[in-house]
Amino acid sequence: MVSHFGFGECFFAISSAPTKKEYIEVSVMKLGKVTSALHECEIGDTLGVRGPYGNNFDVKGWEGKNLVFIGGGIGQAPLRSLINYVVDNRKNYGKIDVIYGARSTNDICFKPEFEELEKRKDVNVHLSIDKEEKGWKKFVGFVPDNLLKIKPSPKNTIAITCGPPIMIKFVIQNLLKIGFSEDQIFTTLEMRMKCGIGKCGRCNIGNLYVCKDGPVFSYDQLKNLKGEM
């Protein structure tokens, strides 16, 4: 959690990989009071940081598996951390597909990193934008449709998705259509939070606290709580 004194405090995913030891990075989308103030920060300004809180992606448990990352917009922030970790430990994982979409080319997060990733032969990158743009030769349409077109094999594969809730909803539907089982699908939730440590009750869904038990959940865990979200 990052606080800007006099403005407030916000949750952010750590977007750098744990293989980067010297510092952590967070990627902030300018939305309201705190995030706008953070965008005005200059080198040398003092911020508050507490955490990290919650659980994490099971990178060790997924060794030897194929991984499909499906991100949209700033939802790529936690996936970026994971993708960079997996690429830094490439031999421990099978096939890697990175599916990412944004509204337009201007909205693509981490553009230079995607360009680097696209040069690698051991990672398949599939980018999309929502609407046609001059010069864009890749997929045009929504992320869940691109996923259906790519149709990754569910065999020995874990799918991890993060993005706007509507995208996550249809991505999960399409993963199930392709043949992924509920325990092969993982997502991170962005419930509104306050304390971050399971005390205030702001973020609970069913008997789970997103701040403490999550924010990473398998679809298997979430499907029965859908009415609560």
Ligand X SMILES: Cc1cc2nc3c(=O)[nH]c(=O)nc-3n(C[C@H](O)[C@H](O)[C@H](O)COP(=O)(O)OP(=O)(O)OC[C@H]3O[C@@H](n4cnc5c(N)ncnc54)[C@H](O)[C@@H]3O)c2cc1C
Query: Cβ 189 to ligand X, closest distance in Å?
Result: 7
Query: Cβ 225 to ligand FES, closest distance in Å?
Result: 15
Query: Cβ 39 to ligand X, closest distance in Å?
Result: 9
Residue pair 141/130 in contact by the 8 Å Cβ criterion: yes
Tell me how far CA of residue 197 lies from CA of 52, 61, 173, 209, 212, in angstroms.
10, 25, 31, 9, 6
Contact range with ligand FES by CB under 6 A, out of 29-37, 121-129, 167-175, 198-206? 198-206
Judged by beta carbon, residue 75 or residue 214, the one nearer ligand FES is 214
Helix (H) or strand (E) holding 139: strand 139-140
Query: Cβ 57 to ligand FES, closest distance in Å?
Result: 19
Positions that interact with ligand X (CB under 6 A): 8, 10-13, 15, 26-29, 31-36, 74, 77, 190-193, 215
Contact between 54 and ligand FES by CB under 6 A: the answer reads no
Taking each helix axis as running N to C, give the angle between helix 165-178 and helix 143-150, from 0 to 180 degrees, rounded to the nearest 10.
20
Contact between 95 and ligand FES by CB under 6 A: the answer reads no
Q: Which long-range contacts (CB under 8 A, 24 or more apart) does 190-193 make?
A: 190/11, 190/215, 191/215, 191/229, 193/11
Residue 201 binding result from ligand FES, ligand X, none, given CB thresholds of 5 to 8 Å by partner type: ligand FES
Longest dimension (CA), the chain: 51
Contacting positions for ligand FES (CB under 6 A): 193-196, 198-203, 209, 211
